[in-house]
Structure 1
Amino acid sequence: MKLLRSKYKYIACLLFLWACVLNVYSQTPDEQLTVTGRVVDQDKKPVAGVAISIQEDKTNKSVTTGADGRFTLATSTSDVLVFKYVGYLMVLKPAAEVSKGDVVLTKALIDAGDNDNVYIPFGVRKKREVTATISTITTDDLPQIPSSSLTNVFTGRLPGLAIYPSGSQQPGYDVSSFLIRGRSSYNSNQEPLVLVDGIERDFRSMDLGEIESVSVLKDAATLAWYGMYSANGVIYVKTKRGSATSTSVTFDAQAGLQAPLQIAAPLDAYTYASLYNEAAINSGGTAVYSPAALQAYQDGSDPIKYPNNNFVRDFTKRVAPTQRYVATVTGGNAFIKYYTLLSAYQQGGFYKGGHNDTYDANTDFNRYNLRTNIDLHVNKNLDVALDIGGRITNLTFPNAGTATFLSTVYSTPANAFPVINPNGSYGGTSIFTQNNPQAMLEARGASTDLVRNMMATLSARQKMDGILKGLTAEVFYAYDIAGAYRSGFSQQYATSELKADGTYTTYGTPVKVDYQANAFSGNIRKSEFWAGFDYNRIFGKHDIKFSTRVSRANYASFGSLDVRREGWSNRLSYNYMQRYFLDLTAAYAGSENFAPGSRYGFFPAASAGWIISDEDFMKGSTNFLDFLKIRGSYGLVGNDAIGTARRFAYNDFFTRSATGYTFGTGYTGVSGSGQLALANPFLTWEKAYKTSVGFDAKMFKQALSISADYFYEDRKDLTTASLLPSLLGQSLIYVNEGEASYKGFETGINFNKKLGGVNLNVFGNFTYNTSKILAINEGAGLPDYQKQLGHPISSVISPAATANTAAGYVSMMLISDGIFQNQAQIDASAKQILSKDVKPGDIKYVDQNGDGVINDLDRVRTDFNFVPKAYFGFGASVSYANFDANFLFQGTSGRSITIQQLVNAGNTNNGFLNQFSVDRWTPDNPGAPYPRLLLTDRGNNTAASDFWIRSGDYIRLKNVEIGYSLSPSFIKKLRIKQLRFYASGLNLLTFDKLGDLPIDPELPESGYNSSYPYMKIYSFGVNLKF
């Protein structure tokens, strides 16, 4: 906290000084000027009654145009004039340029207003003009949640975008993965391309205050611009920029508490020992704990010899703090516009203890974000923009490691050892030599990871009307650099075990250091260069826009070879009468992942739109239908991240090994170089043929908006293992012989209406998708029920897996048929040879091939999938007088999770039984949901099977925010523009199909095994605007 405050004050001073410099520049004295001009419409007819004012003019000086559209206004050269007229778009124009020609007002058509901009790669369109499938949300519509990852506020907000939290929710590692419209490839990399202002950058660690809007680009109409790198879709983030019409300073402060959604509930010592005896007897042994020992655990008479720990209670907190502070300065004039932000975020860990005079081992995460976007209007033809972003993160954690520490806390038996021995030493045993949670925090040391990121973008746009009217040239260069450093105290500790004779046996050697070690741990450098031309002209009722860019990108990471890409992108847009629209996009792009001569491909796409509601034959529906646009697209895009195939797979792969080859009958290893994998010089990228058809509609005086799309994709040239004979002695080379498809539909609905004094907005979205494997190389002789062909693409269903980083495959497992209740049932069933001694209480499996034996030949392909078939979100926002509130529910359907790793820990973790062990099968509990207890893995009950599969469907109250703004009359006395107080919450309420099973359906492993728990957050905040 002390570090947070000191750095925050330091950076705040820099922010203030920078804002002062910008304000001084923007307020440089200039010359007085009397402006005369004329305002006309698109048909060059004068417009009377147009209100003309000076931005940020405290005297409220304004004039209106006369019948001839003319006006005269006294102003200065640095002023910007604002032209407003009902039914037309607002126009901003520097005063010094007004007298050089007519000011043209454009009629405000539906979806073509000042707030209807849609940002696409290196371009902007009015929503009316868009023929592609794009979903957009502005940050004004999002709640303020103090979370380390922005993905928490976007989940469930956009149709077609599914967000999955990662397996670890440790502060600083709360990183989610994305899928756009599901999976269409069974290879590993399904992440969409994430762009910030057109440059590939991660936005998850940005502050919400940096962002103006987030758009999801889903079909080939926009994705083709990026050619070979966009088959998985694009998330396009637009950052905030300065304003020529207003100047403001804002400050936000939030403080909150985070609490685990679910966390392991350990067994007490008596219950653990009793169950352990039962498991030992079931495993063919005898009871380990005597009745006297059980009594001692129960009555607590000797806590040293018979300890009864609760490590979860003693070493984790019920709540942990989090806080966020944001300051922004926005302003400008006719020559310069600027937006500057500084934010500080802190998330405390939920461990207890670990503090001493040298270090604090409790997890603690601090992040500082800085952004300055500057737009400079050099002259009437030249505009220059400079964007600078910075981020510093500090993550402190125990040297024992988060996973190791939490595994110890969750899994160590309550009776394993006393935490502190009578002589003050740390408790331990020959089994648990380095498993003392208190020692892990106090005596193992702590480390801090420091990461510095700097991002800069410089661009220039030059109008070239002297050469060709409507022609503009642009140059765009971005450079990012990041460095990572680790410092800390590395120590060791010893544990001791009290023997019956009063002596101690010590395990390990304590090592204590009083100095802090520092080390460089890596860096990243990235650069992107774009250059090209834009041509925009209107010829009567014909509107033409053309963009062309060449690009080159280089990514360098410490310890890895550079990655390079380059391409040439083109886009032609045409519309007639703002009613008929056509877009053509094509890219010629290359990747070094493929052999020379085969690195470039052509990626074309076309889309069209028709605003059918503007046709004369639709006039009869205008009493309820205000707007209807139908649109469709088709095109080809690629993916050069081909998953399991290694990089540069077009070359043979050799390695040097001490035992490179084996010779002779004794298979003696001989040192030398070995060829591990054959080359495939014909390997190529995945090719995605995307089709999308949809409509946008507005009804009932634009109160109701509906968008819907049907989509289909055929993904070809997927890499799949080649069917080489094993006699070759080489790793299987990958070939482009795979194919898969997916299809589905999505819809978004928004109802916005003012009902008396209440402003009401109700919204919702729904996406359904399904996939199918059309071609994949599989082993010869597989029975049909074990083939992946024809099945949907399944993601790894382990709760530790992410939805898209692991390779997708059709899960193969045994099909269960309940639990054996007696020996007669075992004798009457197929012989289960997975275990040497199947007993009542073991899982029964189905004999798929009817051979009377249960073995690997009875495993079948299933469609269980961690990736849902459907995902959705719905909510509302409402405001009345000075009060406002909003909420969001989100959820999934058609999703499966496995609980095997959680429930079966006793059979696979040295008999360390857990809370699930209580509800096991016994002769007195034949209807139990889990099989009998065993100390070791016998193979039968731990085999992969549908016995452990559960529904992952859920509906969650994702976030809520309630706010109150003080009245304008009151805050005017305080000389501020706005003062708002608000309370918010994240992950507040969940409805699922898991019954009493105490796990989280969205992230099942969180809070168990070795996983940091998924958190709910309650926060309170204040917003000031000056």
Structure 2
Amino acid sequence: MRKPVPSPGLPRLLLLAAGLTGTHAALAQTLPTEIAPPPAVTTPAAPEPEPVSTMFIPSVTDENTEPLRGVKVANASGSLSAVTDSVGQVRMDAPQGEVLILSIDGSEVRRFVVGTSLRPIILLDTKHPAVARLKPVQLLNSTAIRPDLTAASTQTIYYNDLQKLPVTSFLTALTGRVAGLQTFSFSGQPGNDIVGASLLGQSPTVVIDGIVRPIYAFDLEEIESVTVLKDALSSAMLGVRNSNAGVLNVTTRRGTPGQPRISFTVQSAIQQPLKLPQALDSYNYATLYNEARVNDGLAPLYTARDLELYQNGQDPIGHPNVNWRDQVLKKSSQLNRYTFSASGGNKYAKYFVSVEHLNQSGLLKTSDINKYNTSNDYKSYTLRSNVDLQLNKKLSAGVHLLGRILDSNDSGAGISSVLSSIVNTPANAYPVYNANGSYGGTQQFQNNIQAQAIGSGYRENYRRDVIADFYLKRSLDELTPGLWARATGSYYASLSENIARNKAYATFLQTTPATGEPTYQQFGANGDQANGNGIANQNNTTYLEAALGYDRQLGAHGLNAIVLGSRQAFTQDSDLPYTTQGISGRASYNYQGKYVAEFAFGLNGTNRFPDDGAFRYGFFPAGGLAWNISREDFMKSQQWLSYLKLYGSYGLTGNDVPSYFTYLQTYFDTSGPYFGTSAGQASGISEQVLANVNRTWEKAQKLSVGVQGAVLDNHLGFTLEYYNSKYYDLLQQRGLSTSLIGQQYPDENIGQNRNYGFTGQLTYQQSFGKLSLLMAGNVGVQQSKVLFADEVYRPYPWMRRTGQRIGQSFGYIADGLFQSAAEIAGSATTVGYRPQPGDIKYKDLNGDGVIDQLDQAVIGNTQPTVPFGASLSLRYGSFDFSVLAQGVLNRTVYLSGGSEYAFQNGGFGGAFEQHLDRWTPDNPNATYPRLGLGANPNNQAVSSYWVHDNNYLRIKNVELGYTLPLGLSSKARLQSVRLFASATNLLTFSQYDRIDPEVFNNAYPQQRLLNLGLNIKL
């Protein structure tokens, strides 16, 4: 028998799974002891005549250094075998050169060779279906459970995928990665890039480190994972704050024992606006304007000479032709991001610290005439510190801190006003500058856009956020093994302050007579800078929690349970606090890991409801069952099936829709009435919206069933789920109310809706020598229906909202454009309007010969909305490549407003490229009706004419990376060096491609980002 020798230290081992990041792939090139997972075991030559046996203590983690529990490590003969513990470690006497096999649920994941100089780190890719089953699901209130031991419907996105996009909102980073989750970018403005989310057709609640917090802007490198909780079982503990559609559960990163891991990332991106309205030049504008006047029975405004001067540009003052978009907006802007993080620890303390600085410039051009910045720029500074302590064998504690400084800048007029003016100001309105350098303007257009951008002063917004979380956790093993208690406290404060330094400016109309000097007519006046500041908003939140938990395996029986009491108080500005409190809990039981039964509940309420006991607190239970079929003895012969689980849940959720004490009748002061003379004036009060003393929670009964599995030796994983949720007691105003009482009716719990559909996920992962491949796809089929709405009487079925999709639009059904007076005479008449050829023709649905409100029906899509996403990752040697695509099918968009209609604002507004294809007798198949000035009650009525297909496919992200070989980086004492280039919103394929499918109607445009980055790990 060989005599063991003292270990020179923990041997270092790096296990690379099939789908590693570029950093890990580069490390693999330098490890001669690492071998690919071939069908047969290949034993390398021993470095010595007799291999030395040593205590082998590898730590099995994922690619984010999170420990994995339950991984079997064994040699080929089975004489050496162990399973990783709660910190991902195994202990065994293994000789150097021994080939060990890593397996999960009997499926081989990777092979490696015991070495002498490699540290005990084994990295597994979380995208591997078998590995994913070992990653704990992060549930509510900082609890976790293995995904195969829960009946809840969840999906988790990890750090490596989240940080691929150089964005500020983690919602944007989730786009295209979660089945059933649809995100909407309403604006691309720096510091205000508003993103909405719809999960299974409803708005989800955001929970951060176990506490409800409406925070979306993040340093993405500080997020360990976002777990999407989709069903009643996974979200029941929230009780009245379930927001009807599940939870986005954000978990920030923690330290892990081991040597310090230091990472520095620098990124620099060019931002380019995707879509902006294409305004006409002066010649085309004037041509169409004359045509519109003639259509309205007026004489043309512009002469042939005017049109000639607009076209040749010989009179830039009297006949200007200004492209205002190019004049005041940049072609591109800059985004720079710097992130530093460090993590590590030992058995007594663990830490994760990160610092980030983001500098994002806006689209507004600036001028050297100012000594201050007038562009819409944004800067942020973020510090995160998560420290977890093991005070003694039974007592642990944690201090988790976040501090943020968010600074934004803008012109005095504001970017929104500038964008609005660009849309509403034609190219020939006025010159940018007059001959004497003054701002151009007219009686109609006094707000020179250039002056708005650089001459109106500037404004700043300063926001400060602070979060402090504390916890103490004690093991109560002396009472019974697996029992523990935890106390948590949290404070969150936010302050937003505006500073306005506005300047007034004058504009001038230059008139040049045939002989003599130009004259100037002034509009407005130049003024000194006016300084002001004020608190835009401030709020704070306190949270207290006491929890008792139990986690134990008794032979074949496993039990995981928690019960807690919590209280959260939120104060906004001068409002009275909004407080929620109550108890909640969850219990999960499994037998032999095959059969799972789970129960969860929330019993809580808020102070915004009547304090009579019946309405202040609500009870929201949920239960679920799961069956791991593949672990049954009769399934072991099915070699093609690696894993299969059936699961389902049913429960009740609540949504308090926190109103401001609407169960109390309120009265406001009003102007006093007069009795006789003015001397007899008396004060008065006005009764407001009627109180609703019976107001209660909105509720939902949710059913979710699914199947999850893996085949082909865990290479192909799949999940398919069906959900059906009935929402009732929805707050709505009664449609059959009467106005005779002279007051507005309150919202009442009378509405009923249903959301139902399917979600599916598919992943395929395979290695071919040095090449590893990962493909993933997800899809959601979302349908909804109004079950009951107390609507006004509508005599025809096509008018009724009940039975239609939730939020369904109604309007007139367009039937093309009138082509002749004869066609108009033979068609139904329009109430209050006499159509002309080129006007929109509408269907007379009830056949009474009149177009009126009785002919309004469903417009837009009524089919299920289908959000989808797909990703591809390739790794070969030191190179890695990934692409993410996302989109939506069966969606429509309604367009209106100044950027859609021509010559708005009383006939003085702008006109755009789509108006060139207007109806004329020579263009009967036009896409735009005949032109006219100002509002047209027929053509601009809400109708299907302005509804467009909004199906699209967007290449959301493309990334190419290269990791330096370890031999090169190690010479500089670096763990890894990775260079990468990425593009966000690279390409968009849309069925109606005149607009961006997400940001339109003159909002700040969506941005395309072309990004270069460098990551260094020490």
User: What is the TM-score when the length of structure 2 is the normalising length?
Assistant: 0.86
Give the 3-state SS of the residue equivalent to 1:906 in structure 2: coil
TM-fit CA distance, 1:52: 9.7
Partner of 1:329: 342
Distance across 2 between alignment mates of 1:228 and 1:576: 32
Matched, 1:559 2:574: yes
Matched, 1:511 2:524: no
In 2, are the aligned partners of 1:145 and 1:1019 still within 8 Å (CA)?
no
Matched, 1:889 2:881: no
Change (3 A) 1:657 1:825: same
TM-fit CA distance, 1:265: 1.9
Name the aligned partner's letter for residue 599 of structure 1: R
Deviations 1:67-104 (A, max 9, x none): xx99899xxxxxx9x99943644337799x99xxxxxx
From 576, 587, 606, the counterpart of 1:572? 587
Partner of 1:478: 490
Distance across 2 between alignment mates of 1:936 and 1:150: 42
Distance across 2 between alignment mates of 1:786 and 1:447: 48
Matched, 1:459 2:471: yes
Partner of 1:1015: 1007
Name the aligned partner's letter for residue 377 of structure 1: Q
Partner of 2:696: 684
Alignment of 1:770-789 (within 5 A): 770-789=783-802
TM-fit CA distance, 1:483: 1.2
Give the 3-state SS of the residue equivalent to 1:780 in structure 2: coil
In 2, are the aligned partners of 1:706 and 1:750 still within 8 Å (CA)?
yes
TM-fit CA distance, 1:631: 0.3
TM-fit CA distance, 1:753: 1.0
Matched, 1:608 2:625: yes
Which moves more between the two structures, 458-467 or 375-384? 458-467
Name the aligned partner's letter for residue 619 of structure 1: K
TM-fit CA distance, 1:781: 4.6
Deviations 1:3-31 (A, max 9, x none): xxxxxxxxxxxxxxxxxxxxxxxxxxxxx
Partner of 1:803: none
Partner of 2:873: 877
Matched, 1:619 2:636: yes
In 2, are the aligned partners of 1:609 and 1:632 still within 8 Å (CA)?
yes
Name the aligned partner's letter for residue 359 of structure 1: Y
In 2, are the aligned partners of 1:342 and 1:368 still within 8 Å (CA)?
yes
Change (3 A) 1:380 1:70: farther
In 2, are the aligned partners of 1:143 and 1:961 still within 8 Å (CA)?
no
TM-fit CA distance, 1:497: 0.8
Which moves more between the two structures, 342-351 or 498-507? 498-507
Name the aligned partner's letter for residue 219 of structure 2: D
Name the aligned partner's letter for residue 966 of structure 1: L
Partner of 2:110: none
Alignment of 1:266-415 (within 5 A): 266-415=279-428
Which moves more between the two structures, 897-906 or 875-884? 897-906
TM-fit CA distance, 1:347: 1.2
TM-fit CA distance, 1:909: 5.7
Deviations 1:804-837 (A, max 9, x none): xxxxxx32200010000000000000011252x3
From 969, 991, 994, the counterpart of 1:993? 991
In 2, are the aligned partners of 1:112 and 1:127 still within 8 Å (CA)?
no
Distance across 2 between alignment mates of 1:241 and 1:559: 36
In 1, are the aligned partners of 2:162 and 2:220 still within 8 Å (CA)?
no
Give the 3-state SS of the residue equivalent to 1:727 in structure 2: coil
Aligned CA-pair RMSD? 2.8
Partner of 2:961: 963
Give the 3-state SS of the residue equivalent to 2:319 in structure 1: coil
Which moves more between the two structures, 672-681 or 950-959? 672-681
In 1, are the aligned partners of 2:72 and 2:103 still within 8 Å (CA)?
no
Distance across 1 between alignment mates of 2:189 and 2:103: 52
Matched, 1:853 2:850: yes
Change (3 A) 1:94 1:979: closer
Change (3 A) 1:295 1:107: closer
Matched, 1:132 2:129: no
Structure 1 residues not aligned, in runs of 5+: 1-48, 59-68, 74-79, 99-105, 184-190, 795-809
Give the 3-state SS of the residue equivalent to 2:956 in structure 1: strand
Report sequence identity in percent. Answer: 34
Give the 3-state SS of the residue equivalent to 2:823 in structure 1: helix
Which moves more between the two structures, 151-160 or 351-360? 351-360
TM-fit CA distance, 1:208: 0.9
From 818, 821, 830, the counterpart of 2:819? 821
TM-fit CA distance, 1:628: 0.5
Give the 3-state SS of the residue equivalent to 1:620 in structure 2: coil
In 1, are the aligned partners of 2:859 and 2:943 still within 8 Å (CA)?
no
Change (3 A) 1:562 1:983: same
Partner of 1:694: 706
In 1, are the aligned partners of 2:162 and 2:170 still within 8 Å (CA)?
no
In 1, are the aligned partners of 2:469 and 2:489 still within 8 Å (CA)?
yes
Partner of 1:756: 769
In 2, are the aligned partners of 1:315 and 1:409 still within 8 Å (CA)?
no
From 671, 678, 687, the counterpart of 1:658? 671
TM-fit CA distance, 1:908: 5.2
Alignment of 1:473-552 (within 5 A): 473-501=485-513, 502-513=518-529, 517-552=532-567
Distance across 1 between alignment mates of 2:73 and 2:861: 58
Deviations 1:719-775 (A, max 9, x none): 221333221111112221211111101011111111121111100000001011111
In 1, are the aligned partners of 2:860 and 2:944 still within 8 Å (CA)?
no
TM-fit CA distance, 1:517: 4.5
Change (3 A) 1:716 1:962: same
Name the aligned partner's letter for residue 811 of structure 2: M
Partner of 1:91: 85
From 721, 733, 741, the counterpart of 1:709? 721
TM-fit CA distance, 1:246: 3.3
Distance across 2 between alignment mates of 1:579 and 1:536: 17
Partner of 2:733: 721
Distance across 2 between alignment mates of 1:171 and 1:958: 18
From 924, 927, 936, the counterpart of 2:925? 927
In 2, are the aligned partners of 1:175 and 1:204 still within 8 Å (CA)?
no
From 110, 117, 137, the counterpart of 2:136? 117
Change (3 A) 1:734 1:390: same
Distance across 1 between alignment mates of 2:471 and 2:754: 40
Partner of 2:21: none
TM-fit CA distance, 1:277: 0.6
Partner of 1:38: none
TM-fit CA distance, 1:427: 0.7
Deviations 1:922-965 (A, max 9, x none): 11111101100000213000000001111111111110000000
Give the 3-state SS of the residue equivalent to 2:259 in structure 1: coil
Change (3 A) 1:94 1:860: closer
Distance across 2 between alignment mates of 1:914 and 1:108: 61
Change (3 A) 1:1020 1:93: closer
Matched, 1:631 2:647: yes
Distance across 2 between alignment mates of 1:108 and 1:465: 30
Matched, 1:640 2:636: no
Distance across 2 between alignment mates of 1:155 and 1:907: 36
Give the 3-state SS of the residue equivalent to 1:728 in structure 2: coil
Give the 3-state SS of the residue equivalent to 1:232 in structure 2: coil
Deviations 1:471-505 (A, max 9, x none): 10100111001111222422110001113453211
Matched, 1:214 2:214: no
From 136, 140, 160, the counterpart of 2:180? 160
In 2, are the aligned partners of 1:792 and 1:863 still within 8 Å (CA)?
no
Which moves more between the two structures, 300-309 or 352-361? 352-361
Give the 3-state SS of the residue equivalent to 2:999 in structure 1: coil
Distance across 1 between alignment mates of 2:804 and 2:87: 59
Partner of 2:170: 150
Give the 3-state SS of the residue equivalent to 1:972 in structure 2: helix
Give the 3-state SS of the residue equivalent to 2:1000 in structure 1: coil
